[in-house]
Amino acid sequence: MLKHTRREFVVSAAATSALLGLNGQLAFIPPANAQKANDALAKGFHTFKNGSLEVTNISDGVWEKAHDPAFIKNASVDDTKAALKAAGITDAHVPIPFTVTVVKSGGKTIMFDAGTGAQLAPTAGKLAANMKAAGIDPKSIDAILVTHFHPDHIFGLMAKDTNEQNYPNAEIVLPKAEFAWWTDAGVFAKLPEARHGLAKRIQATLPAWKNVKLVEGEVEVAPGIRALPAFGHTPGHTAYVVNGAQPFLVMADIANVPALFVKNPGWHAIFDGDAALAESNRRKMFDRAIADKAIVTGYHFGMPGAGTIQKDGAGYAFVPVV
């Protein structure tokens, strides 16, 4: 079991500066583990045990997103910069990490989402190299549990130029509600034109793949793993809970960067399709994580990418474990 206390979490200046371009100190990681955090950042992955589970967070890179007044609908750029600065993170831009999680349990290797496929931000696309560094062979993946269909989560399933499957021997588990929304013929009328290409690519690939499994509701999707519908970010956004010594919640995009959207769960990111529903499910998921004493991971939580959720004033705090 992983144990820590809030007051112990202080990162060294050296570790902080390495973490997504941070400056100053960040009240997150125990000093004794600062070197481990540095190692995880340098290696591009971090592995830990949760009972019989072996969990590996793997970096697919970081999007250095330029500040944009539209990014958070109910917070200003100044608010965003202030929150980043308070967490010790650079406020020159918004650093948004991409983090894929792999769990080994019961002789199976399960991956959650598939990364950007090196098809988005120029600073992303590091999953393949970091998987190799972590000793994980893509051919060993038994199943890929997809949380939703945004490109940073699914483009890694398909080759850039041919759309051929990158994981043809893995079972691809998809939330039925997400699949239905994106493959509906009328989806183009609901999407801005900039998203039409994504819908067309989804419709040209996933429906034809023979290794796809659709799941609906809070059901077991693999031994010891259950789906947790958490709609709002997208129409079928789904988290997953894995049985371990402590419950392990793969929260996907229930929140974006912790310094912004864990600390301020009421902030509405432009990426959330239904912001009010996303906020409601964000708060429910955080409260569940606290009540269950769960270890959590978020796709945009950075490295090390697993930890716990704690109440922090009117908001919450993500406390990484290393």
Domain that holds residue 181: 6-320
Domain contains 283: yes
Residue 219: burial class (beta carbons within 10 Å; 0-12, 13-18, 19+) = exposed
Are β-strands 220-222 and 212-215 bridged in parallel, bridged antiparallel, or unpaired? Answer: unpaired
CA distances for 87 relative to 126, 144, 159, 259, 298, angstroms: 25, 33, 37, 6, 17
Mean pLDDT over each residue of the chain, to the nearest integer: 89
pLDDT at residue 10, rounded to an integer: 31
Give the number of domains in the chain.
1
Instruction: Let me know: does 203 contact 248? Beta carbons within 8 Å.
Output: no
Residue 134: burial class (beta carbons within 10 Å; 0-12, 13-18, 19+) = middle
Q: What is the pLDDT of residues 195-216, one digit of tens each?
A: 999 999 999 999 999 999 999 9
Domain contains 50: yes
DSSP-based helix, strand, coil % in the chain, nearest 5? 30, 25, 40
Q: What is the CATH number of the domain that holds 69?
A: 3.60.15.10
User: Residue 70: how many CB atoms within 10 A of its CB?
Assistant: 8
Domain contains 257: yes
Q: What is the pLDDT of residues 122-138, one digit of tens each?
A: 889 999 999 999 999 99
CA distances for 48 relative to 1, 133, 279, angstroms: 11, 15, 30
SS3 string of 163-187? CCECCCCCEEEEEHHHHHHHHCHHH
Domain contains 262: yes
Domain contains 83: yes
pLDDT at residue 123, rounded to an integer: 87
Residue 162 identity (one-letter amino acid): T
Domain contains 94: yes
pLDDT at residue 36, rounded to an integer: 59
Domain contains 1: no
Cα 99 from Cα 59, distance rounded (Å): 5
Phi, psi (5° rounding) for residue 274? -120, 95
Cα 304 from Cα 310, distance rounded (Å): 17
CA distances for 292 relative to 53, 105, 310, angstroms: 17, 20, 12
Instruction: Give the HSE-up count for residue 146: Cα atoms under 13 Å, Cβ half-sphere.
Output: 32
Confidence of residue 19 (pLDDT cuts 50, 70, 90): very low
Would you put residue 202 in left (φ > 0), alpha (ψ -120 to 50) or beta?
alpha
Confidence of residue 304 (pLDDT cuts 50, 70, 90): confident
Cα 206 from Cα 195, distance rounded (Å): 17
Domain contains 218: yes
Q: What is the pLDDT of residues 40-65, one digit of tens each?
A: 767 899 999 999 999 999 999 999 99
Confidence of residue 37 (pLDDT cuts 50, 70, 90): low
Q: Which of 18-32, 147-161, 172-186, 238-252 has the lowest mean pLDDT?
A: 18-32
How confident is the model over 217-240, as a mean pLDDT?
A: 97
Beta-bridge mates of residue 58: 45, 100
